[in-house]
Each structure stands twice: as structure tokens, then as C-alpha cells.
Amino acid sequence: MKLQKEFNSYLADLAVITFKLHNLHWNVVGTQFVAVHEFTESIYDTTFEYFDEVAEHQKFFGVMPDCTFADYLKNATIKEIPAKKFTAEEVLSIVHEDLTTLRNKATELRNAADEEGWFSAVALFEGHVDYYNKQLWFVAATLDK
Ligand SMILES: [Fe+2]
């Protein structure tokens, strides 16, 4: 099946980051708690929406979406981290790294979908890349890097 591995790899990262962000959302500490708590929530709400959108696009194009955590953990590039207290800077650095991974995968999928003529998937991934770019700008500006 075309793009099976690529779609499922991105789907796995969306699953893992959605849960990983809850760890950061709950366990961030410090004077920036509320800002980072709310920022991480806004991202996991979005990645959870994207998770469903991507799987539904897989169905549109006859690509079977993986549906188990075992598969997500096996196929994701983004790795879980154990629960602990996180500083705001640690959270933002992790978010920056993981959103960069998602942006790169969405960009590759956008280009691969274009080669297949799957225009609605191209539009979907372009929207995702646009969102990641904006969040990456927010994080970079906050960290002044
Ligand atoms: Fe919450």
C-alpha cells in the first residue's frame, strides 16, 4: 500500500506527542507555570485533532491506519519521557524538538502525497506545517533562540 509506512509513522508521532504533552502540562513548575500549562494544552488539543484527521485521510486513500499503542510506540520518532518536574525552559526545548520532528514528517508527507496526486492530503499537510511553523516561532521567541 502506498505511503503506509510514512502515514503510520506520522500518526504514531501524533499519538505519542499528545500523551507526552500531558506529562509536560501537568508537571511544569515555576513562575511561568500558567503560560506553559495553557500552551501545552493548546498543542495537545491540536495534535489530537490532527491524529484523527490523518487516520481519516489514510482511509480516504486506502491506507490502513495503525490503531494500537504498541504500534505507535514502535513506529514513533518522538519518544516518551518519564514523569518528573519540568522547568518552563525544559518543556519548551522538548516542544521545540518534537514539533520540528512533526514539521519535517508533515513536509515529507505533503511532497509524497503531491506525487500521488492526493490533493486533499497535500492541503491537510500544508495546514499542519503552517501550524507547526507558528508554534516553533512562539517557542523560539520565548526562549530567545
Ligand atoms: Fe489539563
44 CA distance to ligand 1 middle (Å) = 10
**pLDDT tens digits, 119-141:** 999 999 999 999 999 999 999 99
120 CA distance to ligand 1 middle (Å) = 32
The closest alpha carbon to 128, from 104, 98, 112, belongs to 104
Query: What are residue 86's phi and psi, to 5 degrees?
Result: -120, 140
22 CA distance to ligand 1 middle (Å) = 7
The closest alpha carbon to 15, from 94, 70, 84, belongs to 70
CATH of residue 21: 1.20.1260.10
**pLDDT tens digits, 32-69:** 999 999 999 999 999 999 999 999 999 999 999 999 99
Residues in a beta bridge with 28: 86
Looking at the 3D structure of the chain, how many domains does it have?
1
Task: Name the pLDDT band for 1 (thresholds 50, 70, 90).
Answer: low
> Residue 84's domain spans which residues?
4-143
